[in-house]
Structure 1
Amino acid sequence: MRTFVPDYRLSRRALLKAGIGGAALAGGLPMAFAQGGGSPSAPRIAALGWACAQTILALGMVPLVVPEIERYGRLVVEPAVPSSVQEIGLRSEPNLELLQSLAPDVIIIDPSIMAAMPRLKLVAPVEVFTIFKPGGHPLETARRSTMELAQRLGVQAACEAYLARFDVAMTGYREQVRGRGGKPLYLVSEIARNRALVFGPNSLYQEVLNQFGLKNAWTGQSGPWGHTSVGLEVLAAVPDARLVLLSSRVADIEALLKSSPVLQTLPFLRSGRLTVLGNQFFYGGVPAAERFARLLAERLPQDNNEQG
């Protein structure tokens, strides 16, 4: 299965089309931008969160700025941030002076910095990109938010094509994992001392598991972001489970295995039922779901192969 990537040529055409006559662009962006003499080919976008940044990049657009670019590269990974994008500081504390000097047409933020909206509105119109809502389904919400964002930016055609490619890719990944859903999976991103951060039924990943016909070994409560911290001994409750590690810190886990008596007693680790997917951005949207699904399809072994 090939790596799923955005079709940048299509999105570029959509951007150029949006600029002709200004009608499509004016219908998508806040009126302040539509009347403000922005670029005829694409709006100047400031992405002040990782979830909105990865989505904007997946739609084939390049924002002016992204926060904590080096950490984004390590933790979010995909889509990669082009070298032309400037660093805007911390996600929690963007550099407002730099932002103002760049004169963006629109600012896209994640809900985590809603408190800064009054100050940001002094620079440019602000749009909030939301994925997690109380009682909502993150992937479904992410799709809807992506379509709404694309409409505001005037790239609806690029968004429709992107989501269509995502659906085709997911169908392919589902075929790859067919017949490998016998054992339930613990999805864990961190293991420290005697505790683990495990993902539950309201996580972004649960919707991928549902599509693939795979079982989540953790059926207990989880927080608003879809995860919760539990004692390692709790994971022994499903002895035939497989541990799927959503982290690149394998060396840390190997060191813990040697030093933690609790870890050494867990059935899935004693039997070698460990699959490492590498870093995953569990606060992300459609691109984050696709990365998780692709790597899971590539690396999840057959149930009779206990060493994958």
Structure 2
Amino acid sequence: MKQRVILALTLALLFLTACSSDKNEEQTAPTEKEDTKVTIEGVNGEVTLDAPAKKIVALEWTYAENLLAVGVQPVGVADIEMYESYVNIEPQLDESVTDVGLRQEPSLEVIASLEPDLIIGVSFRHEGLLEELNSIAPTVVFNPYPDDESIDVYGEMETTFKEVAKAVGKESEAEVVLADLEQKYEEAKGEIDAADLESKDVLLTLAYSGAQAPEIRVFTPNSLASKILERIGLNNVHESEQFEIYGYSTYNVEGLVKYEEANYLYSVQDDDNIYENQLKDNQVWKNLDFVQENRLYDLGEDTWLYGGPLSAATLLDQIVEAMVHNE
């Protein structure tokens, strides 16, 4: 009889311990919803999603590119036709992606029809639309153009890329992309060094027809594109008289005279080639040293100088091709 009582008490104690353990686990174990929450941060603060986003609308091309870099096709992108003209990367947008209008004036109606989990914008275009965009889906905006030189624009590019990757649950993929880019820098620098160029001083430009005359964007040392040049040992000689928030000064052809000793790197659209048209017989242009000495390096029309890691890799390929292999 005594043994039966002891056995009963032992079983009861075990049962109470198990119940207590289960209760503690219930109290401490996170719910499935908490497990999958994702918090990303833009210039509009922290944005928390219940789970990694699967349906994303990118209102700026850089963020569409960032999504593609980690294997995610956005459901909507602004101004796809122009994107495909300028942004030269692989993979490309597939046919399922919907055009949501202009980058500056996206269609809220089209965006809403896509029922996105997340909208990604850029501050200088979309901060004024935040209330409307947030009424459709959680919205994060980034700012690739700092107000002064105290912020590293290259660091901002990498940080934003990682935030976008986090938003879609692709952080490990992002690390691989950045590691591959670092390897590409080493290879490109090696080829530039081995080419034994007469000068590594360069001017990086993008040209187009202005309202009155040809206009040439000359990229400043604080621009993302210039930081990429520096990583492979090239020296951007342009010195702006003032801080240029968007990373370039706009010149006419006369403004290039002070830089004629440098190598001239340029991008121009084939259907708006000012060098073959307006400047073909321009005496100032024809007499510049870099023209006379054929130190002109065409990077191609599909050179996107404002993008993410994949555009940086493309730019490296284009620079090496123009300055080394086409010498």
**TM-score, scaled to structure 2:** 0.78
Match of 2:72 in 1: 61
The equivalences for 1:174-185 within 5 A come to: 174-178=189-193, 179-180=196-197, 182-185=199-202
Determine whether 1:219 maps to 2:239: yes
Question: Of the candidates 294, 318, 322, which is equivalent to residue 295 of structure 1?
Answer: 318
Determine whether 1:252 maps to 2:274: yes
3-state SS, counterpart of residue 277 of structure 2 = helix
Are the counterparts in 1 of residues 264 and 296 from structure 2 also a CA contact under 8 Å? Answer: yes
Alpha-carbon displacement from aligned partner over 1:230-272 (angstroms, at most 9, x marks no partner): 2322322233211111223374312233232221121111221
Match of 2:103 in 1: 91
Question: Of the candidates 282, 289, 295, which is equivalent to residue 273 of structure 1?
Answer: 295
CA RMSD of aligned residues (A): 2.3
Match of 2:307 in 1: 284
Q: Which moved more, 1:84-93 or 1:242-251?
A: 242-251
- Measure, in 1, the Cα distance between the counterparts of 2:99 and 2:198: 42
Match of 1:230 in 2: 251
Match of 2:83 in 1: 72
Counterpart amino acid of 1:187?
L
Question: Of the candidates 136, 147, 152, which is equivalent to residue 167 of structure 2?
Answer: 152
CA shift, 1:124, in A, is 0.5
Counterpart amino acid of 2:303?
Q
Are the counterparts in 1 of residues 76 and 114 from structure 2 also a CA contact under 8 Å? Answer: no
Are the counterparts in 2 of residues 196 and 229 from structure 1 also a CA contact under 8 Å? Answer: yes
Question: Of the candidates 123, 130, 153, which is equivalent to residue 143 of structure 2?
Answer: 130
Distance 1:150 1:62, change over 3 A: same
Counterpart amino acid of 1:232?
V
Are the counterparts in 1 of residues 203 and 264 from structure 2 also a CA contact under 8 Å? Answer: yes
> Which has the larger Rg?
2
Match of 1:100 in 2: 112
Distance 1:121 1:183, change over 3 A: same
CA shift, 1:174, in A, is 1.4
- Measure, in 2, the Cα distance between the counterparts of 1:280 and 1:301: 17
Are the counterparts in 2 of residues 56 and 63 from structure 1 also a CA contact under 8 Å? Answer: yes
3-state SS, counterpart of residue 223 of structure 1 = coil
Counterpart amino acid of 2:307?
G
Alpha-carbon displacement from aligned partner over 1:100-139 (angstroms, at most 9, x marks no partner): 1211111111122111110000000001133221222222
For structure 2, the 5+ residue unaligned runs are 1-31, 41-46
- Measure, in 2, the Cα distance between the counterparts of 1:153 and 1:28: 11
- Measure, in 1, the Cα distance between the counterparts of 2:84 and 2:50: 30
Match of 1:169 in 2: 184
Distance 1:43 1:25, change over 3 A: farther
- Measure, in 2, the Cα distance between the counterparts of 1:117 and 1:156: 26
Alpha-carbon displacement from aligned partner over 1:265-305 (angstroms, at most 9, x marks no partner): 21111221111112322332322222212210121148xxx
Q: Which moved more, 1:52-61 or 1:278-287?
A: 278-287
- Measure, in 2, the Cα distance between the counterparts of 1:122 and 1:91: 19
Query: Between Structure 1 and Structure 2, how many residues are aligned?
Result: 278
- Measure, in 2, the Cα distance between the counterparts of 1:225 and 1:155: 29
For structure 1, the 5+ residue unaligned runs are 1-20
Counterpart amino acid of 1:273?
R
Match of 1:10 in 2: none
Determine whether 1:262 maps to 2:284: yes
- Measure, in 2, the Cα distance between the counterparts of 1:280 and 1:148: 24
3-state SS, counterpart of residue 218 of structure 2 = strand
Determine whether 1:196 maps to 2:207: no
Counterpart amino acid of 1:174?
K
- Measure, in 1, the Cα distance between the counterparts of 2:273 and 2:214: 16
**TM-score, scaled to structure 1:** 0.82
Distance 1:100 1:251, change over 3 A: closer
Counterpart amino acid of 1:295?
Q
Identity, % of aligned pairs? Answer: 26
Counterpart amino acid of 1:209?
L
